[in-house]
Structure 1
Amino acid sequence: MPLKPPVTFLPIRVAESGFYRGFTKDVAITAKILVGALILWAIAFPDQAASVLGAMNSVILATFNYWYVYVMAFFVILCFALALWPAAGAMRLGHDDDRPEFSNFSWFSMMFGAGIGIGMLTFATAEPMYHFAKNPSTIMGLTEGSTAGNVRDAYIWSFTHWGLAAWASYAIVGLALGYFSYRRGLPLTIRSALTPIFGKALSGPLGHAIDVVAVVATVLGVAQTLGFGVEQFISGLSRIGFGDWLFDFAADGSKSSSTMGIIFALIVIMGASTLSALSGVGKGIKWLSNINMGLSFFVLTFFLIFGSTVFGLSTLFVGIWDYLLSIPGNIFTVWTADGTETGDALSGWQGGWTIFYWAWWIAFAPFVGVFLARISKGRTIREYVLGAMIIPAVMCFVWFALVGGTAIDLELSGVANGAIVDAGQADQLFAMLAVILSDTLAYLMSVLVVILLLTYLVTSADSAVLIINTINAAGDEGPKARPHILFWGAALALVVGGLIIAGGLGAIQTAMVIGALPFSFVMVLMGLSLIKAIYRDGKRMKHGLPTTHVEPSSAAV
């Protein structure tokens, strides 16, 4: 049976004039209606929104827990398989003579800043501290919480959640998009990655639906990230003297971010990110990403010198070893509620941590994937997969070991005396700085962390706005009309603010888990589509047939 040529043309109708000129109205308008409806619902009926979202989230966690776990395992296995597959690994994301546009440092900086930068500032301290107190081993009675014997288990799960699985999910989306856009000449939009399965049917309603699902998942995934960042940004502003108006105080002395504090933070963050988005990926985003990386290395160097260096480094190397040994078991383990105290506790823990993270990475994947594809043209599949999956994971491990390890060591030794563990999740990094530094130095470092956090928030938000508009414009990477950039900047701010006011970070979390589910099915199809395309291109190469798209202007013979 003769090999059919690959699909190298996917017509997607876009408006030729008017407000939506250059955009696919079916995608752009539908996505705006869905996101707008969510915003209005969360703001107008906050109690109902929180209740309904919570109920839907409970059903999904109970019904699709196996699905989320096995899907993430599939992404990790597929990434390594593609990197090790000789015929696939040598292929470039583009023509054979294409070379990377960005240096390795800029590539990594943009990739890391857009992918996980914000979460690192919150969770590098908070997550090891939480698992240090409670994790599956403590639930099963194998270790005792908040003791030296529980440190290794705390890092197994911290590294599991922020390691290879997270970056594999991003890498698959970015690889599929880069492959079909730069080798096949298809639009840089989610539907293009499914052409080996659905062909030109993706030009119509099916393709529109896939892109809408990707846009909604992106909005919710980025909203989750911005939500954590906003909470920590407010804590940082409070630490550097912006006042108590940033918080609401309950009768029992507990505090939470005030509505005015949330609004102020979102105005600062989304105002700066919208201005950056208007400047494009090659200017504002690249510039901010390089600042992010420089400041990040400064903070890491600070903890390497002034933190619990020996404890942190030993935690890093032992933690990586333990994590690698745990992968075969943890990557396939699913705990379900069985009516026993231990079984129900394990199921609840996994739903609140592992399943939440898998949903977060999946919801974040269309955004990071499109962004990775945009900055990775010219790289080989092997270089791309290993660079996009292993290097950022190791960077996460270093952060967790040096920053989180210092916090654990300060609590174990009694130096912190509960100051870190008793602080809220968003405030633990600042609390740790107050423990290890004098008041003046703690203030100065807190200012630097607030600046770093702001640049990460801006980088993620402006990148998301550009990616959303790229999908809405049928993959057009060119300049977008200012009103659409302004709309999505405002929409992100309102989703974050509306859901936080409706039910705190938990409301964003539940909305994100729900939004990630349909896109998880799209991602599995992307992986299968990629396997099919690479396999058939390998056969075409053996028969001397072309495997890359040639522009009409250079196709004359």
Structure 2
Amino acid sequence: MVLSISIGIILIFVLCGAFAPVQFAATATSLFDSSIRNFGWFFLISTFGCLVFAFYLAFSKYGRIKLGKDEDEPEYSTISWFAMLFSAGMGIGLVFWGVAEPLSHYLSPPEGATGGSTEAARLAMRYSFFHWGVHPWAIYTIISLTLAYFQFRHDKKGLISAVFSPLIGKLSEGGIGAVIDILAIIATAFGVATSLGLGALQINGGLNHMFGISIQPVVQVVIIGIVTVLFLISATTGLDKGIRILSNANLLIAVLLMAFVFLVGPTSFILDLFTSTLGGYLQNLVYMSLRMTPFTQGTWVGVWTLFYWAWWIAWGPFVGTFIARVSKGRTIKEFVLGVLLVPSLFSFMWFSVFGGTGLHLELFDQFPIAAAAKQDVTSALFLTLQQLPIGHIIALIATILIITFFITSADSATFVLGMLSTKGDPNPSNKVKIVWGGLQSSMAIVLLISGGLSGLQTASIIAALPFAIIIIGMCVSLMIALRQDEKSLRSRDDRRMKKLDELLSIQSET
């Protein structure tokens, strides 16, 4: 039922986007604007709440509890684990926005700063850290932690509905549970199909910049076709081969690319920028987390921060399910600190290197990258790399990195959709994964040709509002289960200590 209804709803939306793209986009935009305008405060509070709750779990008495049985050990090495969760979470986004977002904020900064000023540059970097730092990873942490805990410690199915059993009991296996799972599948399918389309546009832009290949739908359809074949090959080889190997390769290429730009770019400036921006970010973390503009009625927070928060929440089912699947055997403390801090630190370094290099070219070398990026956001990265030694080769490597991140995200999503639509099967069949992979690519192609891609992107984010409520329910359900679990662990420890005391007493008497 879940699989059939999900596919039916997805096809209805796709047909609307294909045959009435203008009306579809207008309706989706209106609904999104309404949710942001009326519930922006809720997005901010719930996201900040996820961050506070995650840190609480890590350093509380629950931190020692394993995501699995007490004797379970991690299935993947720490490096492979970081690589997989990072590639699924936001790898391709960092490559695309690493230069473009700081430059966009530099021209149109928040907090009433003057565009193009020194203060604008400072705020541009701080808010780039903010949008790609601990907040999105807190959302992923809560969802994936809850799923992994119930799946591996309490032998529940790998479904979002299954984690609600302590809260709603058998209802989680009935109609309410089906609604939760259908919403997760729809949000995942929409988000991935949109990313396939946007990724094709990005790759087409890179090929146009380097080789002069024209930007047109035919080229983008060919790109999607090639990438589909590649990610299906990866997806059907399983986690231990395809996704793990590609994720490790992604991380290696990304680190080497970042190290090259750091060394041949304005190294001292980048180090100074990283240090000062990290300080400003930590100092203003709570203020930025809860910043609204009720008196000035400004639109910047809605256009950027609230849009991002809604986007991360909408992507939460996909990323959370995947991270949970590869995290068996780790303690809650290890999991939270690993998922929350390591990718965030990498994001800070990435934006400092690439965004810092772009701002340095704009501010000190008088190279108009910001204006060029405003005209075509896909050009920002390539224009920046072009100014460096062997820039053309580096731009080619960056394009390859976009493609490999693209493949990893797509095959991870295919894997997750297979799990969610087969009652939480941790190893869905290749047939199911191929069906979902083909459906995602078909959605992206239809919407690219019809021009309805932006409408679908907005529609996918609308799912964030009900899913934010689901995340709160997941937190409550997790706490109920953790309290029971910790109580049983404490009782077990007390019995062990009592037995040890008895043995010591007998030994002493002897």
Cα 1:492–1:393 shift into 2, 3 Å = same
| Alpha-carbon offset, residue 423 of structure 1 | 5.1
Deviation at 1:100, TM superposition (A): 0.6
User: What's the CA shift for 1:401?
Assistant: 0.4
Which residue is 1:554 aligned to? none
Checking the alignment, whether the CA contact within 8 Å between 1:73 and 1:331 is kept in structure 2 is yes
* 1:502 CA displacement: 4.7
Q: Is 1:77 equivalent to 2:77 in the alignment?
A: no
Distance in structure 1 (CA, Å) of the matches to 2:445 and 2:355: 29
Q: Secondary structure at the match of 1:98?
A: coil
CA distance in 2, matches of 1:504, 1:173: 30
Aligned position for 2:506: none
**What is the aligned partner in structure 2 of residue 507 from structure 1?**
455
Cα offsets for 1:503-537 (capped at 9, x unmatched): 56632431122122222211111111111211222
Distance 1:377 1:148 in 2: 46
* 2:413 counterpart of 1:464: yes
One-letter code of the match for 2:318?
F
What amino acid is aligned across from residue 314 of structure 1 in structure 2?
Answer: D
Task: Report the Cα distance in structure 1 between the residues aligned to 2:449 and 2:291, rounded to whole angstroms.
Answer: 35
Query: Where in structure 2 are the equivalents of 1:28-67 lying within 5 Å?
Result: 28-67=3-42
- Corresponding position: 1:261 with 2:231: no
Q: Name the counterpart of 1:360.
A: 311
SS of aligned partner of 1:240: helix
* RMSD over equivalenced CA pairs, Å: 1.8
SS in 2 for 1:273: helix
Distance (whole Å) between structure 2 residues aligned to residue 231 and residue 311 of structure 1: 32
User: Does 2:331 align with 1:380?
Assistant: yes
- Structure 1, residues 267-302: CA drift from partner, whole Å, max 9, x if none? 122221112111111111011101101100111011
Q: Answer yes or no: is the 8 Å Cα contact 1:65–1:355 preserved in 2.
A: yes
Other-structure match for 1:331: 289
Q: Deviations over 1:215-260 (max 9, x none)?
A: 111122333443442222111111231522xx2xxxxxxxxxx221
* Alpha-carbon distance, 1:66 to partner: 1.2
Paired residue for 1:123?
97
Alignment-derived partner of residue 486 in structure 1: 434
Q: How many residues align?
A: 493
Correspondence for 2:172 = 202
* Unmatched segments (≥5 aa) in structure 2: 495-510
Q: 1:526 maps to what in 2?
A: 474
Q: CA deviation at 1:148?
A: 2.4
Which digits, 9 at most, give the CA deviation of each residue in 1:416-473, with x for residues without a partner? 2447545511111011122234xxx232222211111110000000010110110111
1:500 shift after superposition: 4.3
Task: Provide the residue aligned with 1:187 in structure 2.
Answer: 157
- Corresponding position: 1:307 with 2:265: yes
Summarize the Cα distance change of 1:454–1:298 in structure 2 as closer, same or farther, 3 Å threshold: same
Alignment match, 2:252: 294
CA distance in 2, matches of 1:421, 1:411: 11
Partners of 1:520 and 1:495 lie apart in 2 by 25
The answer to whether 1:349 aligns with 2:300 is yes
Determine the C-alpha separation between the residues in 2 that align with 1:218 and 1:129: 29
> For residues 459-511 of structure 1, what are the alpha-carbon distances to aligned partners after superposition, in whole Å with 9 as ceiling and x for unaligned?
000010110110111111124142x3222112222333444455566324311
CA separation in 2, counterparts of 1:331 and 1:165?
Answer: 8
SS in 2 for 1:436: coil
Amino acid at match of 2:395: S
User: Which structure shows the bigger proportion of residues in helix conformation?
Assistant: 2
Aligned equivalent of 1:495:
443
Sequence identity percentage: 33
Q: Deviations over 1:40-96 (max 9, x none)?
A: 1111111221121122112111121111111101100100000010x2100110111
1:477 to 411, 414, 426: 426
Using the alignment, how far apart are the partners of 1:514 and 1:113 within structure 2? Answer: 24
TM-score by length of 2: 0.93
Q: Which runs of 5+ in 1 are unaligned?
A: 1-25, 248-257, 547-557
Aligned mates of 1:507, 1:435 — CA distance in 2:
35
Secondary structure (helix, strand or coil) at the match of 2:393 reads helix
After alignment, is 115-124 or 496-505 more displaced? 496-505
**Which residue of 2 is the match for residue 414 of structure 1?**
365
Give the distance between the partners of 2:84 and 2:273, measured in 1 at CA. Answer: 27
In the aligned structure 1, how far is the partner of 2:203 from the partner of 2:459? 22
SS at match of 1:165: helix
User: Under a length normalisation based on structure 1, what TM-score does the superposition of the two structures give?
Assistant: 0.85
Q: Distance in 1 between matches of 2:175 and 2:4?
A: 14
Structure 1 pair 317/504, CA: closer, same or farther in 2 (3 Å)? farther
The change in CA–CA distance for 1:351 and 1:261 in structure 2 (over 3 A counts) is farther
Contact 1:182 1:377 in 2 (8 A): yes
Distance in 1, matches of 2:175 and 2:424, equals 16
What residue is the counterpart of 2:106 in the other structure? 132
